Chains A and B, each alone.
Chain A
Amino acid sequence: MKWNWPFAWHILPVILRGMVITIEATVLGMLLALILGLIWAMLLILPNRWLFWSTRGLTEFIRDTPLLIQLFFCYYVLPEIGITVPALLTGITVLGINYSAYTSEVYRAGLQNIPRGQWDAARALNFTAAQTFIRIILPQALPPIVPAMGNNLIAMFKDTPLLSTITVMEMLNRAMIIGDKTFRYLEPLTIVGILFLIISLLASALIGFTQRRILVRR
C-alpha cells in the first residue's frame, strides 16, 4: 500500500476541523488546571494537617492512575448520578482535574522558591494574609513557573487524543473514522501525527524563547 496524495489532500480539511476541538479542549482544560492547581497549592501551604493530607492524597491518586481510566470512569459514572453533559465537557473537566495535580506541584515549587524574608517583610508591614499572597508572593512566584506551565500545556495537548475514546470528535477520532470507512489508515493517522508534531515543536520553541526571556529579566 502506497501513500496516496490526492486522498491525503482530500481528508486534510476534515481532520483540521478536529483541530479546533483539540485546541478548545487544551485551552479550557489548562485554564481549569491552572485554577484548581493553585487551589491545591494553597491548601498545601496552609498550616492544617487534615487539609494537607487530603489534598496530598487526592493529587497523588490523580497522578498515579491513567488518564484513560479517569476518562472512562467519569464518562460512564457521571450520567449514573444524574449529570448528563456533552462528552467534550466531560473530557475537558477530566483533563483539567488530571493536570491540576501536576500544576499544583509547579505552583508549590514556585512558592517554595520565595525566600522566607519576603513573608517576614510582608508581615512586618502588616499586610493581611490575602494581601501578602496576592500582592507580594504570587507576583514573584508566577513568572519563573511560566515555562513549566507551558510544558504542562504541551503535555495536555498531546493527551487530547484520548478524548476520542469518549466520542469527542477531535483529530484522532476523525482520522480513525475515515480509516474505518475507507480502510486507509496510513494517510489520516500520519496527517494527525504530523500536525501534532508541528504544533508541539513550535510550542516547545516558544517556551524555550520565553524561558530565555525570563532568565534575562531576572
Chain B
Amino acid sequence: MLHMLPMMLRGTVVTGEVTAGAIVVASVAASCAVAMRLSTLAALDWPARVYIELFRGTSALIQLFWAFYALPLVLPFRPSPMIAAIAVLGLNGGAYGAEILRGAILSVPRGQHDAATALNLSSAAKMFRVVLPQTWPLILPPMANLFIDMLKNSALAGLVQVTDITFNAQILQESTLRNAQVYGVALVIYFIMALVLAGFMRLLERWMKFPIGARV
C-alpha cells in the first residue's frame, strides 16, 4: 500500500497540471466564444456556435482520441500528449463555460444596460464595469461544478499516455494486481482534490458576494 503512494502522488501532480492548464484554456476559449456569440456579426457568431455545439455535442473521450490518433495524421507535427490533453479538455470545458457565461450576461436586467448607456459609458466600459461584475455571483456556482467536471475529465488524459493518476493507477494495477487498493486510492485522491477545488471555489464565492436580486 505504502509503496504505491509515491507513484500515485506523482500522478496527482500531473492531474493537477492537466486540470489547471485545461481551466486556463477553457476560460480563454469561453470568453472568446461568448464575445463572438454576443457580436451582431454573423461571421463571428456562427463559428462560435459551431465550436460550442461541436464540443458539447460529442464526448470528451472521442474528442481526445480524435486529437490523439486522427489529428496527427493530418497535422504536420505531433503535439505532446500533455499539450493535446490540455487543449482538448480545455476546449471541451470552454464550450460549456461559454453557455454559463452567456446565460449570466443575458440575465443582467435591461435597466442596467439602460443606466450605463444613460451615463454615456462606452460599450467596453458597460461590459467590463457594469455587466460583467454583476454576473460573478451567478457564474461562480455553475463554474465550480464545471471545474470539478474538468478535474474528473482529466482522468481521460491517462488513456492517451499522460502520466496522471489514472495512468499510474493502471500501471500499478497491472503490476501488483491489487485492484481494489489501487483504484480505491485513486478514487479517494480524486475525491480529496475535488473537495479542495470546491472549497476554493466557495471561498471565491464568499469573497465575490454582494446582495444580488435586490431592486436598487
Contacts and interface: CB of A to CB of B under 8 A. Distances in A.
Direct contact of A and B (CB under 8 A): yes
Interface of A: 1, 61, 63-70, 72-73, 76-77, 80, 158-162, 164-165, 172, 176, 179, 185-186, 189-190, 192-193, 196-197, 200-201, 204
B179 A66 contact: no
Nearest to A172: B62
A196 B61 contact: no
Interface of B: 53-54, 56-63, 65-66, 69-70, 73-74, 148, 152-156, 158-159, 166, 169-170, 173, 179-180, 183-184, 186-187, 190-191, 194-195, 198
A23 to B, nearest CB: 14
B53 A201 contact: yes
A106 B163 CA distance: 36
Given A64-B198, A190-B66, A200-B57, 6 more contacts: A66-B155, A69-B169, A72-B170, A176-B65, A185-B73, A200-B56
B191 A192 contact: no
B183 A72 contact: yes
Nearest to A157: B59
B159 A193 contact: no
A50 to B, nearest CB: 21
A69 B166 contact: yes
A131 B114 CA distance: 52
A177 B54 CA distance: 24
22 contacts: A63-B148, A64-B198, A65-B152, A65-B194, A67-B152, A68-B158, A68-B159, A69-B155, A69-B190, A72-B169, A73-B184, A77-B179, A77-B180, A80-B179, A80-B180, A160-B59, A165-B159, A185-B69, A186-B70, A190-B70, A193-B58, A197-B53
Contacts of B169: 69, 72
Given A64-B195, A196-B58, A197-B54, A73 B66 contact: no
B155 A161 contact: no
Contacts of B60: 158
Given A64-B194, A69-B166, A193 B152 contact: no
